[in-house]
A and B are shown apart, each in its own frame.
Chain A
Amino acid sequence: MAAEHTTTYGLAHHFDDIEQQREAGTLGMWAFLITEILFFGGMFMAYILYRTKYPDAFANASAHLNWMIGGGNTIVLIISSLTMALAVYYSQVGDRKKLMLFIVLTMILGATFLGVKAYEYHDKWVHHLVPGFRFNWEGHGDPQQVQMFYFIYFVMTGIHALHMIVGLGIMTVILIMAKRGRFTPEYHSPVEISGLYWHFVDIVWIFLFPLLYLLGAHLHNQ
């Protein structure tokens, strides 16, 4: 057994074989993602409660967000999930160049998302919609209730954006490891596990987009 261990690339000594190691890594990542689900879950809970309490103010506040920008960012993130899935595929078949290409594409799309998000935040600042900082609301709905929507909007999208920034850092590490030829068709768990993280952050946005941006979209047609 000991001799076999020294010959299997990427296998840590406390695992029987590469398959067991991969399974343990996947489960560990899912254990972490469950804590993330519940972390975001608390914020979704706050959203549900205040939306139930202030339905009209939330719809009006939501109508002020630009759903076309939010929808565009949704599409950017879904494409980045595709490029991430393809990066995992090319790590499995051992195509180092394409693995690096798709990691870079994923990072470009992630950075695009953050750039658009920064533009939106700036727009909210200009229109005095940042809660606590000269907040001013002249549209329909109680200003205090509308401010609560923007509190939730900034906390949820802010924490999500923070996860995107962390994701870009992880992808940088994966890119360097790929460049140095650290991955083989047998050993590529870091790519796979980083992919799980990236897809998770995408799923959070899949829920944030309709809840924050589309809630008041029907008001535009009235």
Chain B
Amino acid sequence: MSEHVVSRKVYFFIFGALMGFTLLTVWIANFNLPGPLNAIVALSIAVTKGTLVVLYFMHVRYSSKLTWVFVCAGLVWLIILFAFTLSDYLTRGWVPITAEPWAH
């Protein structure tokens, strides 16, 4: 298995897509969308741009399965970091504390 040389055409195409998504996210940010929609749209576009960079500029699409495992492991741990922390902070106050065990 020899190294995959990504053609310049692919790089320019990805570059164009990244520029397009940047303009799109700036344009959409001017509207006050209902609820958390602004954040959802902005993050979806950022995730798409990041994925394009990882797959093409960083060659992960053409890399070995082991490289994929490494990249995915990083994302899994990031999700654990966010999910476990938020499961604490966002749920505080959901269950009212009826008795304080230390107060007699």
> B30–A220 contact, CB under 8 A?
yes
> B54–A203 contact, CB under 8 A?
yes
> B70–A71 contact, CB under 8 A?
no
> A207–B46 contact, CB under 8 A?
yes
Please tell me which one of the listed residues B46, B58, B81, B82 contacts residue A210 in the complex, with CB atoms under 8 A apart: B46
- Contact segment of A27-35, A120-128, A130-138, A142-150: A27-35
B residues less than 8 Å from A34 (CB atoms): 70-71, 73-74, 77
Tally of B interface residues using CB under 8 Å: 49
Please tell me which one of the listed residues B58, B74, B89 contacts residue A52 in the complex, with CB atoms under 8 A apart: B89
B residues less than 8 Å from A38 (CB atoms): 74, 77-78, 81
> B5–A89 contact, CB under 8 A?
yes
Tell me, rounded to whole Å, the shortest Cβ–Cβ distance linking B54 to chain A: 7
> B81–A45 contact, CB under 8 A?
yes
The dominant DSSP class at the B interface is helix
Tell me, rounded to whole Å, the shortest Cβ–Cβ distance linking B12 to chain A: 7
Please tell me which one of the listed residues A93, A203, A214 contacts residue B26 in the complex, with CB atoms under 8 A apart: A214
A203 touching B67 in the complex, CB below 8 Å, given contacts A37-B74, A38-B81, A82-B12: no
Q: Is A211 an interface residue (CB 8 A)?
A: yes
**Quick one: CB contact mask for A201-222 with B, threshold 8 Å, 1 for yes?**
0110011011100110110111
Please tell me which one of the listed residues B19, B50, B54, B57 contacts residue A207 in the complex, with CB atoms under 8 A apart: B50
**Quick one: CB contact mask for B27-38 with A, threshold 8 Å, 1 for yes?**
001111000001
Please tell me which one of the listed residues A78, A93, A217 contacts residue B19 in the complex, with CB atoms under 8 A apart: A78
A218 touching B22 in the complex, CB below 8 Å, given contacts A30-B67, A38-B78, A210-B42: no
A residues less than 8 Å from B6 (CB atoms): 85, 89
A203 touching B74 in the complex, CB below 8 Å, given contacts A67-B26, A210-B25, A218-B30: no
**Quick one: CB contact mask for A81-124 with B, threshold 8 Å, 1 for yes?**
11011100100110000000000000000000000000000000
A residues less than 8 Å from B3 (CB atoms): 19, 22, 92
Residue of B nearest to A22 (CB): B3
Tell me the bound Cα distance from A176 to B78 in angstroms. 36
Please tell me which one of the listed residues A86, A92, A214 contacts residue B5 in the complex, with CB atoms under 8 A apart: A92
B-to-A contact residues, CB < 8 Å: 1-3, 5-6, 8, 11-12, 15, 18-19, 22, 25-26, 29-32, 38-39, 42-43, 45-46, 49-50, 53-54, 56-59, 63-64, 66-67, 70-71, 73-75, 77-78, 81-82, 85-86, 89-90
With contacts A38-B74, A217-B26 known, what are 7 further pairs, Cβ within 8 A? A34-B71, A38-B77, A81-B57, A203-B49, A207-B46, A214-B42, A215-B29
A-to-B contact residues, CB < 8 Å: 19, 22-23, 26-27, 30-31, 33-34, 37-38, 41-42, 44-45, 48-49, 52, 67, 71, 74-75, 78-79, 81-82, 84-86, 89, 92-93, 192, 195-196, 199-200, 202-203, 206-207, 209-211, 214-215, 217-218, 220-222
Q: 5 A-B contacts, Cβ less than 8 Å apart? A: A45-B82, A75-B19, A81-B15, A82-B11, A203-B49
